[in-house]
């Protein structure tokens, strides 16, 4: 019998489901059990063409609608997503393995927030009037870029589809979105909901595929902009390919972010912050603060309380059970990466405080891991693991810890816990990171910009800033005077 999550077809193009079984098979595996719950197919060149043609054909008409009209579609889509939160959350759990306790309050809700926020902004997107000498003036017209390609990672498939789609569509662009091959289901629902909300056909399309399909989309001449959420190595390839064609980009990439806990921090809040920074979504969060620097005076109390809270608080099990708060890794490959680093951490001499076991059951399960006495040059402290592995490092002074925190190619996020407000602001001013937190961690409200510096990315998602990454300004100089020419 077909599993209920099996979609009608693999792709959603020009307002309808489309199939081409000639494309490579994409098995969808429920990470909690290892079962194949659906099979989709990667886009063939014909499917990629069809999607880009549909997006291109729809774009001018979509951009010609008023911002208020476009915004209305997005806000309706937000309402539909909220009404269907339960079903969308169940689907997100099947796609990713994240527990329903988490997906029911984070994924479709954060997607809906983006649709609502950019839907609200769409009617007030403007250029400006610039007074010049002698009565001359210039004005600017904010124009859509054209067809935008979105390429997603697997950790937040609904959210990523909306965080890219909402600002793109608000500005009058159309989108072809390629989800991660590991989590291909959720974006199809977003596309369906857009149509139901009144988006014209072709405005939001979804094609499936592995990296080759992504690569084909990036270099296609019909495409004006590429927004990728993924790893740094993929980001470098995609950025280079887009640059060769002078396309706009947004790059939301990986990290190895620092979280600094000073002696004067509130212990319970600091432990909560470190938990949020490492174990939500089973550690599969790009902005995670996986290098936790803890000052000498609070270190023992911090480690003791952290272990107590993890021992009592973590509930692994059926992700659909609302009591369960810790799911499996997304797939076998990611589980193997975690296993490799947990073994490496021990070999390198880090002290295992808790975790390190692998429940003996189907699916891709791992206990959350805390390492103490981690040194800056250990692989577990330098490389992104993208799993529930926290490294705790010791430090003495503010100056020293800031230098060590910044000593990384990444610059996605950074956080500090202290009760000294002046120090909190001074430390974040010194962080080389795009997304910083004082006395909390990993909050990403749509109203505030999100993104990384250094190797972690280019551009920002969310907030009014995202508008600049999905539109460009045309300048018009208007002369009110005779034209003076030298000869």
Binder of ligand NAD out of 51, 88, 151, 390 (CB under 6 A): 151
Binder of ligand NAD out of 101, 103, 234, 281 (CB under 6 A): 234
Q: Which of the stretches 27-35, 75-83, 195-203, 214-222 binds ligand NAD when contact is defined by CB under 6 A?
A: 214-222
Q: Which of the stretches 51-59, 100-108, 177-185, 369-377 binds ligand NAD when contact is defined by CB under 6 A?
A: 177-185
**How many angstroms separate the CA atoms of 370 and 312, rounded?**
15
Q: Torsion over CA of 416, 420, 424 and 425, rounded to 10 degrees?
A: 170
**How many angstroms separate the CA atoms of 369 and 56, rounded?**
48
Give me the least distance between CB of 275 and ligand NAD, in Å please: 19
Which is it for strands 129-131 and 137-144: parallel, antiparallel or unpaired?
Answer: antiparallel
By CB under 6 A, how many residues form the interface with ligand NAD? 29
Q: Which of the stretches 67-75, 122-130, 250-258, 397-405 binds ligand NAD when contact is defined by CB under 6 A?
A: 250-258
What are 69's strand-pairing partners? none
Annotated active-site residue 347? The verdict is: no
Give me the least distance between CB of 285 and ligand NAD, in Å please: 7
**How many angstroms separate the CA atoms of 402 and 260, rounded?**
9
Q: Which of 286, 299, 384, 398 is catalytic?
A: 286
Binder of ligand NAD out of 104, 227, 229, 257 (CB under 6 A): 229
Identity of the residue, 212 or 268, whose beta carbon is nearer to ligand NAD in the bound complex: 212
Identity of the residue, 83 or 212, whose beta carbon is nearer to ligand NAD in the bound complex: 212
Asked whether position 173 contacts ligand NAD by CB under 6 A, the answer is no
**How many angstroms separate the CA atoms of 14 and 154, rounded?**
24
Q: Are 164 and 177 in contact (CB under 8 A)?
A: yes
Give me the least distance between CB of 159 and ligand NAD, in Å please: 9
Asked whether position 237 contacts ligand NAD by CB under 6 A, the answer is yes
Give me the least distance between CB of 288 and ligand NAD, in Å please: 8
Q: How many CA atoms lie within 13 A of 160 on its CB side?
A: 33
Annotated active-site residue 286? The verdict is: yes
Asked whether position 252 contacts ligand NAD by CB under 6 A, the answer is yes
Identity of the residue, 154 or 293, whose beta carbon is nearer to ligand NAD in the bound complex: 154
Asked whether position 159 contacts ligand NAD by CB under 6 A, the answer is no
Identity of the residue, 180 or 391, whose beta carbon is nearer to ligand NAD in the bound complex: 180
Annotated active-site residue 143? The verdict is: no
Give me the least distance between CB of 351 and ligand NAD, in Å please: 26
- Enumerate residues 376-415 that contact ligand NAD by CB under 6 A: 384, 386, 412
CA–chain centroid gap for 113, Å, is: 14
Binder of ligand NAD out of 202, 214, 327, 328 (CB under 6 A): 214
Q: Which of the stretches 49-57, 129-137, 251-259, 261-269 binds ligand NAD when contact is defined by CB under 6 A?
A: 251-259
Direct distance between the N- and C-terminal alpha carbons of the chain, in angstroms, rounded to an integer: 83
Q: Which of the stretches 23-31, 190-198, 233-241, 339-347 binds ligand NAD when contact is defined by CB under 6 A?
A: 233-241
Q: Which of 92, 102, 192, 461 is catalytic?
A: 461
Q: Are 132 and 124 in contact (CB under 8 A)?
A: no
Instruction: From 251, 254, 252, select the one nearest 386 (Cα to Cα).
Output: 254
- Enumerate residues 434-473 that contact ligand NAD by CB under 6 A: 452, 457
Binder of ligand NAD out of 211, 317, 430, 449 (CB under 6 A): 211
Identity of the residue, 146 or 230, whose beta carbon is nearer to ligand NAD in the bound complex: 230
Annotated active-site residue 340? The verdict is: no
Give me the least distance between CB of 386 and ligand NAD, in Å please: 5
Which tokens in the block code for residue 308? 């107590």
Binder of ligand NAD out of 207, 275, 286, 324 (CB under 6 A): 286
| Interface contacts to ligand NAD, rule CB under 6 A | 151-155, 178, 180-181, 210-211, 214-215, 218, 229-231, 234, 237-238, 252-255, 286, 384, 386, 412, 452, 457
Active site residue ranges: 164, 252, 286, 461
């Amino acid at each position: 019998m077909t599993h209920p999550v099996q979609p009608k077809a693999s792709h959603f193009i020009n307002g309808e489901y489309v199939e081409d079984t000639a494309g490579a098979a994409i098995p969808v595996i429920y990470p909690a059990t290892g079962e194949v719950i659906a099979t989709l197919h990667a886009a063939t060149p014909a499917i990629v063409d069809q999607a880009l043609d549909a997006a291109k054909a729809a774009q001018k008409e979509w951009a010609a609608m008023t911002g208020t009209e476009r915004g209305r579609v997005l806000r309706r889509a937000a309402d539909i997503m909220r009404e269907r939160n339960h079903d969308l959350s169940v689907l997100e759990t099947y796609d990713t393995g994240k527990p329903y306790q988490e997906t029911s309050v984070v994924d479709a809700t954060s997607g809906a927030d983006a649709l609502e926020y950019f839907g609200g902004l769409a009617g007030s997107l403007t250029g400006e009037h610039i007074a010049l000498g002698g009565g001359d003036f210039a004005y600017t017209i904010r124009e859509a870029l054209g067809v935008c390609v979105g390429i997603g990672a697997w950790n937040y498939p609904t959210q990523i589809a909306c965080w890219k789609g909402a600002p793109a569509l608000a500005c009058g662009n159309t989108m072809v979105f390629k989800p991660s091959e590991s989590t291909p289901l959720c974006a199809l629902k977003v596309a369906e909901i857009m149509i139901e909300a009144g988006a014209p056909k072709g405005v939001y399309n979804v094609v499936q595929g592995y990296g080759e399909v992504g690569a084909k989309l990036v270099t296609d001449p019909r495409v004006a902009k590429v927004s990728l959420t993924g790893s740094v190595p993929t980001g470098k390839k995609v950025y280079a390919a887009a640059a060769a064609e002078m396309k706009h980009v947004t790059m939301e990439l990986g990290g190895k972010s620092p979280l600094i806990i000073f002696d004067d921090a509130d212990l319970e809040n600091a432990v909560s912050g470190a938990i949020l920074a490492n174990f939500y979504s089973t550690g599969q969060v790009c902005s995670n603060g996986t290098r936790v620097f803890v000052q000498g005076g609070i270190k023992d109390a911090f480690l003791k309380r952290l272990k107590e809270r993890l021992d009592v608080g973590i509930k692994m099990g059926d992700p659909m059970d609302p009591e369960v708060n810790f799911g499996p890794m997304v797939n076998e490959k990611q589980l193997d990466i975690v296993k490799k680093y947990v073994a490496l951490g021990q070999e390198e001499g880090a002290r295992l405080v808790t975790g390190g076991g692998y429940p003996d059951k189907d699916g891709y399960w791992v206990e959350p891991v805390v390492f103490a006495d981690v040194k800056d040059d250990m692989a577990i402290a330098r490389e992104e693991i993208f799993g529930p592995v926290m490294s705790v490092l010791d430090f003495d002074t503010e100056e020293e810890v800031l230098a060590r925190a910044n000593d990384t190619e990444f610059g996605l996020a950074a956080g500090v816990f202290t009760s000294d407000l002046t120090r909190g602001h001074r430390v974040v001013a010194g962080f080389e990171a795009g997304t910083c937190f004082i006395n909390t961690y990993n909050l990403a409200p749509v109203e505030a910009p999100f993104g990384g510096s250094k190797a972690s990315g280019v551009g920002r998602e969310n907030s009014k800033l995202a508008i600049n990454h999905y539109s460009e300004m045309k300048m018009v100089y208007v002369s009110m005077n005779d034209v003076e020419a030298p000869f």
